[in-house]
């Protein structure tokens, strides 16, 4: 058998991080190299995720952990405040980033792509690792050619830090590659309550709903005279993202440069 891919997980004691740790510990071609988080230092990661003790404890110094563990890949599910720093640090140490945390600007992505190319390693930033969500984005982009009047509504839990979601931004970008720019709606419209019409993106609107109990959902509503089309995806559990994360970890070992969007890995 080929050498296992050594994976460091940042944000390891978070909700997504724990799911990633479980995946890394159970996939036969992965080896857990390190787990990093601000809290839970010293706790065995196997125990943390309800599996057998694995001998790898949570550390809180990312740089030290990356260097000492000789990780091949760093998976990051932390916060928009810290993820750019973490990604850049990993690349500097030759560790391939697989990033699920959202909140990157186009400038960040450009800068990190250059860093990856200089180091001759691969990297992946995927605002959504769920294959169903990728198909939703792709179908929405295809349909936008025929239904250019559209709005995006995304729903997440009330503790989410960024808005709109990375998935909504990615959907908007994919739609904009296909849909000619038109400004929708009445050009004289006035908001009597600020923000009522949502965020403006290339002529259409994005609405972010934040409520307790909601996991992750998005719909793209398109309409023309006499008809409407709704393309919707619902995620109910973090397990939905793990097949995508595993594919990302394997793929990132095989190319140079930063790929933005998991859709590039789906035919
Ligand atoms: P979470 O439960 O709050 O977990 C984040 C973890 O990261 C926490 O344990 C936090 O520690 C830790 N952390 C924060 N800053 C850190 C740092 N500088 N170094 C090390 N660890 C740090 O959040 P989550 O629900 O897992 O979501 C994490 C991110 O993933 C969010 O941006 C979310 O939008 C994104 N997400 C992406 C996808 C996708 O498919 N791409 C899917 C779901 C979620 P403390 O608790 O001590 O702050």
Q: 115-162 pLDDT, tens per residue?
A: 999 999 999 999 889 999 999 999 999 999 999 999 999 999 999 999
Residue range(s) occupied by CATH 3.30.360.10 in the chain: 131-235
- Note the pLDDT of residue 50: 96
Assigned token pair, 152: 């995006």
Atom of ligand 1 nearest to the CA of 81: 15
Residue range(s) occupied by CATH 3.40.50.720 in the chain: 5-125+238-265
Q: Characterize the bridge pairing of strands 204-210 and 150-156.
A: parallel
How remote is the CA of residue 108 from the centroid of ligand 1, in Å?
18
More confident residue, 185 or 228: 228
- CATH fold for domain 131-235: Dihydrodipicolinate Reductase; domain 2 (3.30.360)
Binding residues for (S)-2,3,4,5-tetrahydrodipicolinate: 166-167
Domain at 5-125+238-265: CATH code: 3.40.50.720
Q: Closest Cα to atom 12, ligand 1: which residue?
A: 11
In the predicted model, what is the mean pLDDT of the chain?
96
For 96-117, what is the mean pLDDT?
96
Q: Hey, CA dihedral for 81, 173, 187, 191, is it positive or negative?
A: negative
How remote is the CA of residue 42 from the centroid of ligand 1, in Å?
19
The answer to whether the peptide bond before residue 142 is cis (omega within 30 degrees of 0) is: no
State yes or no: is 156 an active-site residue: yes
Q: What share of the chain has pLDDT > 90, as a percent?
A: 93
Q: Closest Cα to atom 25, ligand 1: which residue?
A: 15
Q: How many CA atoms lie within 13 A of 256 on its CB side?
A: 6
Spell out a b/e string for 209-227, using b for 16 or more CB atoms within 10 Å of the CB, else e: eeeeeeebbbbbbbeeeee
Is the shortest distance between the CB of 39 and ligand 1 below 6 Å? yes
Q: Give residue-wise pLDDT tens across range 149-195.
A: 999 999 999 999 999 999 999 999 999 999 988 889 898 999 999 99
Is the shortest distance between the CB of 82 and ligand 1 below 6 Å? yes
- Note the pLDDT of residue 39: 87
Which residue among 14, 17, 64, 215 is best mutated to probe the pocket of ligand 1, counting the most ligand atoms within 8 A of its Cβ? 14
Binding residues for NAD(+): 11-16, 100-102, 126-129
pTM value is 0.86
* Long-range interactions of 132-135: CB distance < 8 A, separation 24+: 132/233, 132/235, 132/240, 133/167, 133/216, 133/218, 133/233, 133/235, 134/244, 134/262, 134/263, 134/266, 135/233, 135/266
How remote is the CA of residue 128 from the centroid of ligand 1, in Å?
14
Short-list 161, 128, 160, 144, CA closest to 245: 128
- Which residues have CB under 8 Å from 85's CB, separation 6+? none
- Note the pLDDT of residue 1: 65
């Amino acid at each position: 058998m080929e050498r296992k891919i050594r994976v460091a997980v940042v944000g390891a004691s978070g909700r997504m991080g724990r799911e990633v740790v479980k995946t890394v510990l159970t996939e036969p071609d992965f080896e857990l190299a390190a787990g990093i988080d601000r809290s839970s230092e010293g706790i065995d990661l196997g125990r943390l995720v309800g599996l057998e003790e694995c001998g790898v404890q949570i550390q809180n110094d990312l740089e030290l952990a990356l260097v000492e563990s000789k990780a091949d890949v760093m998976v990051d599910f932390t916060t928009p405040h810290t993820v750019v720093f973490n990604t850049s640090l990993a690349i500097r140490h030759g560790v391939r980033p697989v990033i699920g945390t959202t909140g990157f600007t186009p400038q960040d992505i450009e800068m990190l792509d250059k860093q990856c190319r200089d180091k001759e390693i691969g990297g992946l930033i995927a605002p959504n690792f769920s294959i169903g969500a990728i198909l939703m984005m792709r179908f929405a982009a295809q349909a936008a050619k025929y239904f250019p009047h559209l709005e995006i509504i995304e729903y997440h839990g009330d503790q989410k830090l960024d808005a709109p979601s990375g998935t909504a931004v990615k959907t908007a970008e994919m739609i904009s590659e296909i849909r000619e720019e038109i400004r929708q709606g009445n050009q004289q419209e006035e908001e009597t309550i600020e923000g009522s019409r949502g965020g403006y993106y290339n002529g259409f609107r994005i609405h972010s709903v934040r409520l307790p109990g909601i996991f992750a959902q998005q719909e793209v509503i398109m309409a023309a005279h006499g008809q409407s089309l709704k393309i919707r995806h619902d995620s109910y559990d973090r397990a939905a993202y793990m097949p995508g994360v595993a594919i990302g970890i394997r793929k990132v070992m095989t190319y140079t440069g930063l790929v933005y969007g998991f859709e590039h890995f789906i035919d």
